[in-house]
């Protein structure tokens, strides 16, 4: 089973359709089960769309990484916040 951090690692490939089918399925299944990663993928998509529209020449990965960290921290809290 995929972990949340694997999802954040693979999201750009997933969105760009650049993953083998087995990985896509694993990722999809994780998204079905994990609300947090669903939010992440959704936000990631929006970020890419925004960047693509406003600055097609500059696909800056810093924003994406910052977003990944932020959502990942949120995710950890959601999944392990009960302790
Ligand atoms: Zn997850």
Q: What is the pLDDT of residues 4-54, one digit of tens each?
A: 888 888 888 888 888 999 999 999 999 999 998 999 899 888 887 777 666
pLDDT of residue 83: 43
The ranges assigned to domains in the chain are: 4-80
Q: Which residues of 43-61 are buried (b: 16+ CB within 10 A; e: fewer)?
A: bbeeebeeeeeeeeeeeee
pLDDT of residue 80 exceeding 60, the answer is no
Residue 46 alpha carbon to ligand 1 centre in Å? 18
The pLDDT value recorded for residue 81 is: 47
Ligand 1 centroid to residue 25 C-alpha, Å: 14
Q: How far is the CA of 57 from the centre of ligand 1 (A)?
A: 31
**What is the per-residue pLDDT for 77?**
66
- The structure tokens listed for 66 are 């910052």
Cα of 63 vs centre of ligand 1, distance in Å, is 20
| Chain centre to alpha carbon of residue 73 | 13
Query: If you measure from the C-alpha of residue 70 to the centroid of ligand 1, how many angstroms do you get, rounded to a whole number?
Result: 13
Distance 78 CA to ligand 1 centre (A): 10
Q: Find the mean pLDDT for residues 77-83.
A: 54
pLDDT tops 60 at residue 68: yes
């Amino acid at each position: 089973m995929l972990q949340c951090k694997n999802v954040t690692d693979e999201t750009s490939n997933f969105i760009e359709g650049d993953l083998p089918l087995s990985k896509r399925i694993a990722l999809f299944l994780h998204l079905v089960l994990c609300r947090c990663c669903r939010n992440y993928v959704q936000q990631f998509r929006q970020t890419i769309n925004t960047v693509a529209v406003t600055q097609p020449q500059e696909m800056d990965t810093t924003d994406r990484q910052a977003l990944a960290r932020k959502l990942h921290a949120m995710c950890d809290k959601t999944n392990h916040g009960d302790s």
